[in-house]
Amino acid sequence: MKNKNITTLLRHFFITTAIIFICTLVSLFFVELHIRTENIIMIYLLGVLFIVIETKQLVWGIASSFISIITFNYCFTQPLYSLHIHDPNYIITIIIFLIVSIITNILMGKLQKHAAIAHYNEQQTLAFYEISKSFLNLSGIQTIFMHTIHALYEYQNIISVLYYYDEKSKQLQRYQDDAMPLALHVVDELATWCYKHQKACGHATAINGSEQWSYHPLCHGEEILGVYAISHTPELTKENELFIHTLIAQMVMALEREQLYAQQEQSRIAIEKEKLRNNLLRSLSHDLRTPLTNIAGSSAVLLENDDVFDSEMKKKLMKSISSDAQWLTQLVENLLNMTRIQDGRLLLSKRCEVVDDIICEALQRCESRKGSHTISAHLPETIQLVNMDGQLIIQVLVNFIDNAIKHTQPTSHIDISFTQKKGKACFEVSDDGNGIPDNMIDTLFDSFVTTKSERSDAKRGVGLGLSISKAIIEAHGGTIYAHNRADGHGAIFGFYL
């Protein structure tokens, strides 16, 4: 800092000396042109103005005024090359010049000061505009806080640490840029005190006033959101403090917007949950009633006519009861998995499973409800082991097969196959039905999606099977897909593990 001041002083000295020297040379030239001496002094007045403009300091303007007077008196008044003044009129001229130059220096200094203030205000306004605009594109508390920390350092070279009160952990969460070494010196205990008492503490306050950091409550209206800590190394100016308060206000507005967005998102989720609950109850009221009615009716008929029906009829009724019971079991499993998925409690029990066993178990579960459909399986020629949760993958395959049974003609053929593609296990279930409608491709794996052609009293299912299957496959880190067959006859549902 000292070397810088010496360099600046020498620079201003050389500028002043050079301008006065140039003014003197020009004045000597004008003397040769027989221009009156009284007019020559104006050249020095102009030189004084240039000195003030270049040095931007009033003291150099006043000093140059006196040096100009001495130079003018020495070189251009009688007797020449002497500081004596022969003509009393020159005394008046010199005094007027000195007064005019000093007044001019003062006015020029004020003008430069106002220009500097205007430039500073322009820069501050531009900075606030850029910061405000950047806040509009931010989301997430951490992103907003880190942006504020970097903006303070970038525009004002101020190091800061921010705290936000987390409702879940009931603690102040600290946000800082580890690349700023001074940020490591902040005291968390003082930040906690500031939050609890809602008062500033630290530097220049009654509480730990010797600290180099000050701690201030981060408030939004009557609500306290957290604390912001500011480093006072070096000491802050009033302009710095104004910038800090304005930037913090911008940050609070961004936090308010983030809170409003979170509340809107919670409201949207609540509405979606209510819609999901209503759809589920409406669908279950029908889909549970239909198989239960069949079970109750078949069992009542069987009990009342036990002596009348032959073994073939009894077997048919018992098979119908078994089919409805298995479908109810599958429905309950889907509902249980749906609740686990929504609560984030879907846990995988992965181990190496034999592909043949998984496919055969899925076929066995669907055997009683396939009706007139024919189902074939293309099993691998060698034993294939895949790391997966066997029961959940069986459920996915059963959902695929049930979906094919429900949406194809009674005499359709369903095929299940396994292949290895690019080092991944690939399961596929295909049929030769009418395929997937184009308007359902994008929403096929959403909850409660059913085809429009599906009659409520003719088809079972609440539209959960495919969405649950997607969640199960994604939990395995796999990919699920569905598309129409290339020949246009039927659809293919599959997944990679």
**Could you please report the per-residue DSSP string of 100-165?**
HHHHHHHHHHHHHHHHHHHHHHHHHHHHHHHHHHHHHT--SHHHHHHHHHHHHHHHH---EEEEEE
- 96 and 195 in a single domain? The answer is no
- 428 and 457 in a single domain? The answer is yes
Residue 279 has pLDDT above 70, yes or no: no
Task: Specify if 334 maps to a domain.
Answer: no
Q: Give the pLDDT score at 452.
A: 47
Helix (H, G, I), strand (E, B) or coil at 465: helix
Among 461, 391, 378, which Cα is nearest to 426's?
A: 378
Task: Specify if 65 maps to a domain.
Answer: yes
- 123 and 203 in a single domain? The answer is no
- 99 and 154 in a single domain? The answer is no
CA 345 to chain centre: 27
Letter string b/e over residues 455-482, b meaning 16 or more CB atoms within 10 A of that residue's CB? eeeeebbbbbbbbbbbbbbebbebebeb
**Distance between CA atoms of 343 and 346, rounded to whole angstroms?**
8
- 162 and 27 in a single domain? The answer is no
Task: Specify if 317 maps to a domain.
Answer: no
- 113 and 153 in a single domain? The answer is no
H/E segment holding residue 320: helix 311-343
Percent of the chain with pLDDT over 70: 89
- 388 and 485 in a single domain? The answer is yes
Write down the number of H helices and E strands in the chain: 12, 12
> Could you read off the pLDDT of 163-219 as tens digits, one per residue?
999 888 889 999 998 888 776 678 899 999 999 999 999 999 999 988 999 999 999
- 356 and 489 in a single domain? The answer is yes
Mean pLDDT of 81-93: 73
User: Could you tell me the residue range of the domain that residue 73 belongs to?
Assistant: 2-127
Q: Check residues 3 and 192 and name the one with the higher pLDDT.
A: 192
**Low-confidence winner among 128-132, 183-187, 330-334, 429-433 (lowest mean pLDDT):** 330-334
Task: Specify if 119 maps to a domain.
Answer: yes
Q: Give the pLDDT score at 334.
A: 66
Q: Over 159-202, what HEC string results?
A: CEEEEEEECCCCEEEEECCCCCHHHHHCCHHHHHHHHHHCCCEE
Q: Is the dihedral of CA 73, 74, 79, 85 positive or negative?
A: positive
Number of domains comprising the chain:
3
Helix-helix angle 390-406:311-343, to 10 degrees: 120
- 145 and 123 in a single domain? The answer is no
Residue 455 has pLDDT above 50, yes or no: no
Task: Specify if 336 maps to a domain.
Answer: no
Of 263, 278, 293, at which residue does a domain stop?
263
| CB neighbourhood size of 314 (10 A) | 14
Task: Specify if 397 maps to a domain.
Answer: yes
Of 81, 101, 127, at which residue does a domain stop?
127
Mean pLDDT of 387-416: 87
Residue 443 has pLDDT above 80, yes or no: no
The CATH number covering residue 232 comes to 3.30.450.40
- 106 and 176 in a single domain? The answer is no
**Distance between CA atoms of 49 and 30, rounded to whole angstroms?**
20
Kindly report the average pLDDT of the chain as a whole number.
82
**Distance between CA atoms of 427 and 358, rounded to whole angstroms?**
11
> Could you read off the pLDDT of 201-214 as tens digits, one per residue?
999 999 998 899 99
Residue 338 has pLDDT above 70, yes or no: no
Residue found by looking up tokens 């995988």 in the block: 348
**Contact yes or no for 336/467 (Cβ under 8 A):** no
Q: Give the pLDDT score at 462.
A: 44
Residue 220 phi/psi, 5-degree rounding, is: -130, 100
Contacts of 139 (CB under 8 A, 6+ apart): 258, 261
Going by pLDDT thresholds of 50, 70 and 90, the confidence category of residue 429 is: very high
**Contact yes or no for 429/397 (Cβ under 8 A):** yes
